[in-house]
Amino acid sequence: MPGKVSIVGAGPGPADLLTVRAAQALRAAEVVLHDDLVSAEVLSLCSSSAELINVGKRCRRHGTSQEQINALMIQHARQNRDVVRLKSGDPAVFGRLGEELDALREAEIPFAVIPGITAAAAAASAAELTLTDRRSASTLVVITPHNAGENLRPKLALDLERTTFAVYMPGPDYANTARELMEMGFDSATPCAVVSNACRTSQKVCFLTLDSLRSAPTIVAPAVLIVGWVARANKPRNLCLSANGLLNAEGRTRAATGNLAVDAYELAVKSAYPPAIDGTNVTSSPSLNL
């Protein structure tokens, strides 16, 4: 009888955002195959005798393909070891879960899937916004511009005024992502929030419009882009502008005035629903570094 493979969602980073079941699986695991985005804090829950193998993208450059990851899961399980395949967020969201389940089923390896908090939910909590709202957003689309060979555009007719897009892997070409969203029909004044490192101490939140997103330069990955009227910036209670004019979760006071990111934030704050936000004076901002 082979060992079991648990495909576990690690959530956005903090260990206390894991499910109890995920934490139990980590403590029991003999082998943990994890992605790059899984935090050190989560990995520290593994037993000291567990073998930790990074099979993430950065390591993939050195040779761990999806086929090799599948083979590693199967090989360790056939050695009667308890295997955890640990993925950031939720395994079912842009996590290649389908391919891994197919491989396990074919090899007749018993498995369990343990869900985690996906980045869109983490980003929404970080930015204190809702993804759906019965008054204004009845549809949530989870999407990435980086799916194998496809562009962002779903072949669906949507009422974009009542739709929220949660865009995973939105960078590094934000101008292209913004342009695609506008080509799909989003107004250039549509509010959006970029949440970088959601729920981690390095979390950054920036409220913009699609128009101003086009010229926002460096945005630190990992980040999620929330697009739609739900992202208009109600002034978050415990988020303050940090010294570089962006928002942080630590409640620091606003130190930089005159920063164009501040202007973007204030424009968004002042906006009524569903307004046209005049983002024209932030499009050339050189200082929107998230």
Q: How far is the CB of 111 from ligand SAH (least distance, A)?
A: 17
Sorted by sequence, the CB contacts under 8 Å of residue 251 that are 6+ apart come out as 238, 239, 240
> Which residue's CB is nearer to ligand SAH, number 128 or number 161?
128
When the beta carbons of 192 and 260 are compared against ligand SAH, the nearer one is 192
Nearest to 266, CA basis, from 251, 253, 247, 252: 247
Whether 235 is catalytic: no
- Report the length, in residues, of the chain: 290
Q: Is 85 in the site for ligand SAH (CB under 6 A)?
A: no
Taking the complex as a whole, how short is the minimal distance between the CB of residue 94 and ligand SAH, in angstroms? 4
The binder of ligand SAH chosen from 32, 83, 152, 169 (CB under 6 A) = 169
Tokens, residue 188: 């250039």
Q: Which of 29, 119, 131, 208 binds ligand SAH (CB under 6 A)?
A: 119
Closest-by-Cβ residue to ligand SAH is 89
Are 282 and 212 within 8 A, CB to CB? yes
DSSP structure class, residue 275: P
Q: How far is CA 283 from CA 100, 114, 135, 262, 288, in A?
A: 42, 42, 30, 13, 10
Instruction: Order across the sheet with 83-87: list the strands.
Output: 51-54, 31-34, 83-87, 5-9, 111-114
Distance between start and end Cα atoms, the chain: 49
Min separation Cβ 281 and ligand SAH, Å: 28
Q: Which of 18, 114, 123, 261 binds ligand SAH (CB under 6 A)?
A: 123
> What are the structure tokens assigned to 233, written together?
């910036």
Token code pair at residue 16 = 């206390």
Tell me, by CB under 6 A, how many residues bind ligand SAH.
Answer: 25
**Residues 126 and 198: beta-carbon distance below 8 Å:** yes
Q: Which of 57, 159, 173, 270 is labelled catalytic?
A: 57
Q: Is 211 one of the annotated active-site residues of the chain?
A: no
Residue 93 near ligand SAH by CB under 6 A = yes
**Minimum CB distance to ligand SAH smaller for 89 or for 191:** 89
Stretch that binds ligand SAH, among 216-224, 232-240, 243-251, 263-271 (CB under 6 A): 216-224
Interaction between residue 55 and ligand SAH (CB under 6 A): no
In eight-state DSSP terms, residue 15 is: G
* 226 touches ligand SAH (CB under 6 A): no
Under the binding rule (CB under 6 A), the answer on residue 222 touching ligand SAH is: yes
CA distances from 216 to 151, 219, 263, 288 (A): 21, 8, 13, 6
Q: How far apart are CA 105 and CA 87, in angstroms?
A: 19
CB of 3 to ligand SAH, least distance (A): 24
Catalytic residue numbers, as ranges: 35, 57
For ligand SAH, the binding residues (CB under 6 A) are 12-13, 37, 87-90, 93-95, 118-119, 122-123, 168-169, 195, 197-200, 221-224
